[in-house]
Structure 1
Amino acid sequence: MFCLFRLMENYTHNSFTLQLEGLNVSKESKYPLFVFFFFSYLFILVTNVGIVILVFIDKNLHQPMYLLFCNLPLSDVLGNSILVPHLLVDMLRPPSERLISYTNCVAQAFTTHMYGTTTHTILIIMAFDRYVAICNPLRYAAIMTNKMVIKLTASAWGVALVLVGVLLGLTIRLNRCRTMIHSPYCDNASLFKLSCESVFINNVYGLMFTVVLFTASIGSMVVTYTKITEVCLTSKSNSLNSKALQTCSTHLVVFLIVVFSGMSNIVLHRFPQYTDYRKLCTILFHIVPGSLNPVIYGVQSKEIRRFLLKLF
């Protein structure tokens, strides 16, 4: 069967039906893994949608910090809803029936990269909000107006849309001579590897994309938190330091989780012998941050805790 698939790869041209390799798991671990992914997805949906509803229902939460944070659960729901349900169905199918159309594959790759990119850009605009709140508290209301919140939100999604649009645009221009996607889901790398043409430009832009995104993300965190630390060390206000510790710790923990998950994928790409671990890690890159983000903010936010106590 494997030889037949390899033969199909060598003699297909621009096929509109692709095959996903999926996860290589044993029969004993398939169903426990299915249950884990299924309940993880349900948890992501309930908690993230619940947080967004809470923010919009409770007027006490109509603050720039929470309105900007709402972008994060929306991104988590979007990224996981495109990936996990299709993955769950494929896990119950034999390898020969794990098929996906080229159009759906491109859409899945676009959404997957939008999820990863918006996660970083949203955390960047949230860092700016924390910087203004702690370093310029007297001007916070004047700077972080509703119009500014809308501009920051549009910037986070707009920048990601342009970066990912160019990334996928360079890939869909290529002719395809293979049909096998060597991944549990579609992404840009697995798509351009279907081509027998030169993918030099794709590799260069992909590398630039990753370097620019991580440099901007990590750089903004270093700058903002350095300024925040300086203000806290020179300030004698216990309330300011307490507020900074409470709000910044949650943001920083979420950022570290995202960076660690992303770096793990990049590192495992350099070790072909760990292909199965890399596949699992790419899925956890979606599930882990999406599960932990609402928990971290829900536990640390005094306003959200108060609302939940009133509700229940």
Structure 2
Amino acid sequence: MQRKNLTEVTEFIFLGFSRFHEHQITLFVVFLILYTLTLAGNAIIVTIIHMDRHLHTPMYFFLSMLASSETMYTLVIIPRMLTGLIAQNQPISLAGCTTQMFFFVTLAINNCFLLTVMGYDRYVAICNPLRYMVIMSKRVCVQLMCGAFGIGLAMAAVQVTSIFTLPFCHRVVGHFFCDILPVMKLSCIDTTINEIINFVVSLFVILVPMGLVFISYVLIISTILKIASAEGRKKAFATCASHLTVVIVHYGCASIAYLKPKSENSVEQDLLLSVTYTIVTPLLNPVVYSLRNKEVKEALCRAVSKNIS
């Protein structure tokens, strides 16, 4: 019976925002505007960093990688979600669902570890400034970036394999994309082992980066407090403020979404959290780094002035 069900379920249908049927056009417009702003903001950051030689430093290299990763992350989810708001009950094949989940998990974990790498970069810049360019050489930066992406690929392979070896009895996904827990609920059999695997992976990819960032900032704050001048302390902390803001929101949303007890799950809460970490958080990155980062604003002004002249 399990084998029969496994072969019969070849596609899924997203329930999405169907419970908010009367507001779907409004949601479409709002999400489309936010998505457009996200794409434009991240594209501007990547372009400015590439064009302005003043930003050719490890800090901005990692920022451009984060912006690129966030852009691909949203591309995996949001276009199909927007389509679903207009044309309901659009099916996704089993292979399509597998692919979407794999890239979503890979990029989400990659973003977690990129933020950790950016925290390490700030630690070296503030705590060991004289050797900063030696420690954070181009080779090391590329290795750290590849390491973050490699961990994402490995963890995604584990999670996706554990999900799609299950037999499925149901077709309707109570979500707007192929997230881990909503797809797992469609299985015919007990998924306790799969839930444990998912929880262990989630603990690793959330708590380990959070712990490393926390250690980095304990050392950073300790060093900043030793700076004699108030102006020097202010300048040192300003280089960390944008990163710290993004870290708090990113890890906060991820922790609530994937580490909360199963008994506390509800469809409305899950949708709200998912909208936050798939639409709002990717938009936060360009907004924070554009409005709170002096060097990015100066580079943007130089680019605008150059084009006008």
- The residue aligned with 1:195 is 187
What is the one-letter code of the residue matched to 1:208? Answer: V
Superposed displacement of residue 31, structure 1: 1.2
User: Does 1:128 find its partner at 2:149?
Assistant: no
Instruction: Judge conservation of contact 1:12–1:179 (CA < 8 Å) in 2.
Output: no
Q: Is 1:32 the counterpart of 2:45 in the alignment?
A: no
Question: What is the CA deviation profile of residues 37-93 of structure 1, one whole-angstrom value per residue up to 9, with x for unaligned ones?
Answer: 011111111110111111111111100000011121112111111111101111122
What TM-score results when the alignment is normalised by the length of structure 2?
0.91
How far residue 240 of structure 1 moved from its aligned partner, in angstroms, is 4.1
Answering whether residue 48 of structure 2 is matched by residue 81 of structure 1, we say: no
Q: CA deviation at 1:235?
A: 2.2
Identical counterparts, % of pairs: 27
Deviates most, 152-161 or 167-176: 167-176
Residue 270 (structure 1) aligned to one of 242, 254, 263? 263
SS for the counterpart of 2:12 is strand
Identify if the C-alpha distance between structure 1 residues 270 and 252 changes in structure 2 by more than 3 Å, giving closer, same or farther.
Answer: farther
Q: Which residue of 1 aligns with 2:277?
A: 285
Distance 1:135 1:240 in 2: 13
Alpha-carbon shift at residue 238 of structure 1 (Å)? 4.6
Q: Where does structure 2 lack aligned partners over 5 or more consecutive residues?
A: 305-309
Q: Deviations over 1:174-220 (max 9, x none)?
A: 23222221211102223333322342331111111111122212211
Residue matched to 1:3:
none
Look up the match of 2:307: none
**Aligned pairs for 1:171-182 within 5 A:** 171-182=163-174
1:306 aligns with 2:306: no
**Could you tell me how far 1:297 is from its partner in structure 2?**
0.8
* Correspondence 1:61-140 to 2 at 5 A: 61-94=55-88, 97-140=89-132
Count of aligned residue pairs for this structure pair? 300
Answer whether contact 2:113 2:209 (CA < 8 A) is retained.
yes
**Does structure 1 residue 23 correspond to structure 2 residue 17?**
yes
Q: CA separation in 2, counterparts of 1:281 and 1:161?
A: 24
Q: Distance in 1 between matches of 2:23 and 2:207?
A: 38
Q: Are residue 243 (structure 1) and residue 256 (structure 2) matched?
A: no
RMSD (CA atoms): 1.9
1:19, 1:282 → 2: CA distance? 17
What secondary structure does 2:263 align onto? coil
The CA distance in 1 between the partners of 2:239 and 2:283, in whole Å, is: 19
TM-score by length of 1: 0.90
More moved, 281-290 vs 137-146 = 281-290
Aligned partner (choices 38, 44, 63) of residue 44 of structure 1: 38
Mapped contact 1:134–1:240 kept (Cα < 8 A): no
**Given residue 91 of structure 2, which amino acid in structure 1 is its aligned partner?**
L
Alignment-mate amino acid for residue 311 of structure 1: A
Structure-2 residue corresponding to 1:5: none
Q: 2:160 — aligned with what?
A: 168
Give the letter aligned to residue 17 of structure 1: E
Q: 1:255 to 1:174 in 2, by over 3 A?
A: same
Q: C-alpha offsets along residues 7-43 of structure 1, whole Å, 9 cap, x if unaligned?
A: xxxx844322211111134343211111010111111
- Say if 2:141 is the partner of 1:149: yes
Aligned 8 A contact 2:174 2:267 in 1: no
Q: Counterpart of 1:197 in 2: which secondary structure?
A: coil
